[in-house]
Amino acid sequence: MRVKCETCGHKALINSRNEIDPKVVDLYCTCTNPDCRHYFVAKLTYSHTISASQLQAREAALDYLRSLAPSERQHLIKQVQIVI
Ligand SMILES: [Zn+2]
């Protein structure tokens, strides 16, 4: 990940980070331009999902299977085994 100094446009280094919450992190950065040396905070935030996590898909499938009656669950498992 690249961070640019908003003052001079040079590359900046991330010195440390502070997690504000699981989706927001403050990045403490220093500009690498020796004439600038701007020290600043950039904010990194989670925006949105493009493709769902396989971990979430697996949990959703298990939750759905658990919600079914045992006979429905067995029927669905047999259908999956036929496909695989
Ligand atoms: Zn700079």
**pLDDT by 10s per residue, the chain, length 84:** 899 999 999 999 999 999 999 999 999 999 999 999 999 999 999 999 898 888 888 888 888 899 999 999 998 888 888 877
3-state SS assignment for residue 79: helix
Distance (Å) from CA 23 to ligand 1 centroid:
27
Residue 20 one-letter amino acid: I
Q: So what's the pLDDT on residue 33?
A: 98
Report which residue type is found at 17: R
Give the pLDDT of residue 37.
97
Euclidean distance between CA atoms 43 and 28, whole angstroms: 9
Q: Which residues surround ligand 1, an ion (CB under 5 A)?
A: 5, 7-8, 10, 31, 33, 36, 38
Residue 60: per-residue pLDDT: 85
Q: Give residue 36's pLDDT.
A: 98
